[in-house]
Amino acid sequence: MMKFAVVSFPGSNCDEDLYYAITDDLHEDATIVPHTATDLTEFDVILIPGGFSYGDYLRGGAIAKFAPVMSAVKAFAQAGKPVLGICNGFQILTEAGLLPGTLQHNRQMQFICEPEPLLVANNQTMFTAAFQDQQQITLPIAHGEGNYYCDAATLAKLRDRHQIAFTYQHNPNGSVSDIAGITNEAGNVLGMMPHPERAVEAIQGGTDGLLVFKSLLQAHLRTV
């Protein structure tokens, strides 16, 4: 069984959705790990869930980046193992310096909760290999601060190194270059605002999200 860790901070609220996506739908092993954990070496993947860690006090992810578990997350990422941050998890990964850029307030200052059409901009990553190149998919978004911002030099690097994994088809929040999800340069850390764990069963309106987790499983099976 592939072992997924779901890190739960005070204020995380998508941790159980992720847990059930992995156990009920991907049929692999998942453990909800508290923010106080210091050793994650037994796991194959770390998932950083959405929600409002530490109430989003100061800025989304600004307090979570100092949680005890984050040292273990950084060591895990530096070892080349996969780390996936979703929504607030994406904000935490940028604040922690594991991904470039920042998530700002949405351009229109509204919280958006909608199924959102996306494009798989790069299917050559361990998180997206189960998708077709440029595949059009739909995943739910639910955020007030999802407006991805980086400076022009960083954007040029993201493009040159094929770090843009997902883009919006109809930019809902003002993100630079329609960015919905990016990887780090090494390709083993992905941050995305859309929620793949909310699109894993037909009753949720679609199952496109399951392919993110299937991609990770395929990459894992190639290494064991």
Partner 1 sequence: MFLAQVHVTYKPSILDPQAVAIKNAMHRLDFDQVTAVRQGKYFEITVDAPTSDAAETQIEAICDQLLANPNMETYRYEVKELANQ
Q: Which residues bind partner 1 (CB under 8 A)?
A: 58-59, 62, 66, 94-95, 101-102, 104-109, 147, 149-151, 174
Termini Cα distance of the chain: 11
For residue 40, the minimal CB distance to partner 1 (Å) is 23
The C-alpha atoms of residue 51 and residue 99 are separated, in whole angstroms, by 19
Of the residues 14, 28, 150, 195, which is catalytic? 195
By C-beta, is 79 or 153 nearer to partner 1? 153
Strands (E), 145-216: 147-149, 164-168, 179-183, 189-192
Please report which helix (H) or strand (E) contains residue 214, including its range.
helix 210-223
The residue annotated as part of the active site, out of 14, 87, 116, 150, is 87
Nearest distance, CB of residue 105 and partner 1, angstroms: 6
Cross-strand partners of 138: 117
Q: How far is the CB of 77 from partner 1 (least distance, A)?
A: 19
Token pair 């798989």 in the structure block, residue: 120
CB of 75 to partner 1, least distance (A): 19
C-beta separation of 47 from 77 below 8 A: no
CB nearer to partner 1: give 82 or 181.
181
- Is-catalytic flag, 197? yes
Residue type at 181 in one-letter notation: G
| Nearer to partner 1 among residue 104 and residue 204 (C-beta) | 104
The single residue listed with the structure tokens 């950084």 is 74
Catalytic residue flag (residue 14): no
Nearer to partner 1 (CB atom), residue 48 or residue 219: 48
- Cα distances from 22 to residues 127, 162, 170, in angstroms, run 14, 27, 29
Among 28, 95, 145, 197, the one annotated catalytic: 197
195 is catalytic: yes
Q: Which residues are catalytic?
A: 87, 195, 197
